[in-house]
Structure 1
Amino acid sequence: MAGRSRGLTRPALLLLGALVGLSISPAVQELVSRAEVLWGHAFTPSRAWGKGREVAVARAAVADCTTVQELDDAIANTAKGEPNVLIVGFSTTWCGPCKLMDPKVKELSETFEGRATFLKVMGDKDPESMQIMKREQVRTVPLYQIYKDGQKVGSVSGADADRLTSKIEQHTGMKATEPSNS
């Protein structure tokens, strides 16, 4: 099902995004994740009609990136406008420091929502993810590469949440304590 995401129209994918709040099937999550990468847009929460209930249209704040094309599209999207900052986290399933950073990175993705897009490459997940790690010359994990306006502008190696926060603040022009304008 995930392979068909490129053939669906934007309204169809928005409907799928709404379904994420109702049905948390892995296939729907994967399809929405791919749509977010292709359009450089995260599905955001919206109000349900009539009763004021929240419908969870948003999936995870950090989208999985599993193909070279998804990464290239996300990098290209930074040159097209807001958000023009992309943070790509490289990790592996066995990396303890990576697992410790996951909650902080999720928190940062929520703090900088509308200012930055966050992707995660799990390097030992499949051959294509390994190819991404090789192409990006990832030699240590966790590694966070920062892209702005289509170019790599920085990186943070290791589980250093303060340094990662500082780099994101530098490239978004926003302090982590300020409210996002999304």
Structure 2
Amino acid sequence: MSDDELEAIKQKKMAELQKAAEARAALSSITAPVHLTDSNFSTEVARYPVLLVDFWAAWCGPCRMVAPSIDQLAKEYSGKVVFGKLNVDENPRVAGSFGIQSIPTMMIFKNGKAVDVIIGALPKGAIEAKLKQHLSSGSIYG
């Protein structure tokens, strides 16, 4: 291999590493759940390597019980996981497309694809345990 070819490979690898570092830095700045809607859902799910979406409604008591845990986890996992909230009453299209029939329902998306579902008002530790399963199953950046 020539010096020029090696230099090209080195430059490509450096660009990839820079892109990954920028992605991690951008994720680190998100410390609260993002607001998801029917109109921005697809874009937001594709944007983040790991996204936990909380499907909820204002009238739902168990949803209100889970909300503080979601807020805490969003801070604690900043840089690793992005959390989103989607109000099912205001955004029926997305909720319907995933067959959400009971709330709270949380879905974990990895690289734009749904990989797990959590149904019910589980304690923070149970939600965190599910997340850890997906974080330990390989790199989220590539």
TM-score under structure 2 normalisation? 0.71
Q: Is the Cα contact below 8 Å between 1:90 and 1:121 reproduced in 2? A: yes
Question: Where does the alignment leave 5 or more consecutive residues of structure 1 unmatched?
Answer: 1-40, 45-57, 79-83, 175-182
Higher Rg: 2
Q: Is the Cα contact below 8 Å between 1:142 and 1:157 reproduced in 2? A: yes
Q: Is the Cα contact below 8 Å between 1:144 and 1:155 reproduced in 2? A: yes
Which segments of structure 1 move beyond 2 Å, counting only runs of 4 or more?
Answer: 41-44
Identity of aligned residues (%): 25
Within the candidate set 108, 111, 123, 2:73 is matched to 108
| CA-to-aligned-CA distance 1:116-173 (integer Å, 9 cap, x gap) | 111100111x3xx011111111011000000112211101000112321111111123
| CA-to-aligned-CA distance 1:78-131 (integer Å, 9 cap, x gap) | 4xxxxx11100000111001001101110011111000111100111x3xx011
Counterpart residue type for residue 121 of structure 1: L
Structure 2 counterparts to residues 153-168 of structure 1, below 5 A: 153-161=115-123, 162-168=125-131
> Matches of 1:152 and 1:133 in 2, distance apart?
13
> Matches of 2:68 and 2:133 in 1, distance apart?
21
Q: Is the Cα contact below 8 Å between 2:56 and 2:104 reproduced in 1? A: yes
Aligned length: 111
Partner SS for 1:110: helix
> Matches of 2:27 and 2:132 in 1, distance apart?
20
1:76 has 2:29 as partner:
no
Partner SS for 2:115: strand
Partner SS for 1:102: helix
| CA-to-aligned-CA distance 1:22-74 (integer Å, 9 cap, x gap) | xxxxxxxxxxxxxxxxxxx4683xxxxxxxxxxxxx7x60111122x421112
1:61 has 2:32 as partner:
yes
Counterpart residue type for residue 116 of structure 1: V
Equivalent in the alignment of 2:82: 117
Counterpart residue type for residue 74 of structure 1: E
Equivalent in the alignment of 1:177: none
Equivalent in the alignment of 1:170: 133
Between the two structures, name the one with larger relative contact order (CA 8 Å, sep ≥ 6). 2
Q: 1:42 to 1:149 in 2, by over 3 A?
A: closer
Equivalent in the alignment of 1:52: none
Counterpart residue type for residue 151 of structure 1: K
Structure 2 counterparts to residues 1-182 of structure 1, below 5 A: 41=26, 44=29, 61-67=32-38, 69-78=39-48, 84-124=49-89, 126=90, 129-161=91-123, 162-173=125-136
State the superposition RMSD in angstroms: 2.0
> Matches of 2:118 and 2:127 in 1, distance apart?
6
Counterpart residue type for residue 76 of structure 1: A
